[in-house]
Amino acid sequence: MTTTSDHLMLPALQTATPWRALEHFPRRPQEFSFVLLSDRTGLAKPGVFERAVHGTNLLRPDFVIQIGDCIEGYTHNPETLATQWAEFEAIIAPLDVPLFRVPGNHDVSNAMMQAEWLRRYGALYYHFRYRDVLFLVLDTQDPPQRLAEFRGTQAMPGSESTVDEVDRAKLRQAYDADPRAFAARIETQIDWEGTQPVHISLAQAEWAAGVIAAHADVRWTILCMHIPAWQGAGNPSLERIRGALGDRPYTVFAGHVHNYQRRMLHGREHIRLGPTGGAWVSTKEEGSFDHLTWVTLTATGPRIANIVLDGILGAEGGVFRPTPMFAPRVGA
């Protein structure tokens, strides 16, 4: 046997060999992987987020970041809120890798829901460091938005309330009657590619700047937020955070729009995730897929793979049958 490294032993052959490019074998003392799961709300498609949990367990990343909008929210009723969180926690319970949470607008729709998040999870924005990579989790609902700030949403069926209380039965009825027409109606009311109603307080931006300064030795920084603060006119607090990052390499992830998009801004990747079971709120086909995002932090930065959930099968196999974008809801 011929040993070429600590991990590889090959038989000693003459000139010809059935292998090539051995110099590309990865050297991974710094490498790790994590998965991003995205929105399951705005009328969750049954079973999709559950499939993402199962798929994540098969893939075995180091950890998971859920980018927000776990529950339907928009309620002032503590019992309704408790029921919604119990449902989500039951769905996420089978996940057998560590989970980090990002708050979404559906999760902290008002002061009561924000207080409940803090009671359950302790912080709305925070940071952690894994090996030599800094993760900043931002709260884009600081403070929570009124429904009217999401342009046109009060004209949606079930969202007419002046107290930000959504009638989920009416909303579901409209969606089930014609999912494509429902998405088209929202699409005419909301500019999904324009400036989003992001709330990041000055205090939060200054906190983030302080964290960045305290971790000057990291090789990469990952920013996670729910609403893509970089769209349209952008957000002053995000600019403050960018200023603190300076020339450091970083990557930004968000969700909210239920449509995948990658933009290069200031020479950095800004990734807007598609849904992980959230309802379609646009008829746009490009970027409209239910997925999980696999990120590998290599020595030279992130490698990103979007894994469409229809394509994940376990060792037992099964039938591969892609789900049409506007397939009728099971049980509708």
Identify the pLDDT of residue 156.
58
Comparing C-alpha atoms, which of 268, 107, 115, 136 is closest to residue 207? 136
- Per DSSP bridges, beta strands 291-298 and 32-37 are antiparallel
- For the stretch 197-223, pLDDT in tens is 999 999 999 999 999 999 999 999 999
Angstrom distance (rounded) from CA 74 to CA 168: 9
Q: Encode burial over 25-37: b for 16+ CB neighbours within 10 A, e otherwise.
A: eeeeeeeebbbbb
Angstrom distance (rounded) from CA 108 to CA 139: 10
Question: Domains (ranges, CATH) in the chain?
Answer: 34-311 (3.60.21.10)
Angstrom distance (rounded) from CA 271 to CA 304: 10
Identify the pLDDT of residue 84.
96
- For the stretch 83-94, pLDDT in tens is 999 999 999 999
CB 276 within 8 A of CB 44: no
pTM: 0.92
**Alpha carbon of residue 23 to chain centroid:** 35
Residues lower than pLDDT 50 in the chain: 154, 331-332
Identify the pLDDT of residue 332.
46
- Residue 112 Ramachandran class (φ > 0 left, ψ -120 to 50 alpha, else beta): alpha
CA distances 167 to 1, 28, 39, 105, 197, Å, are 70, 51, 19, 16, 22
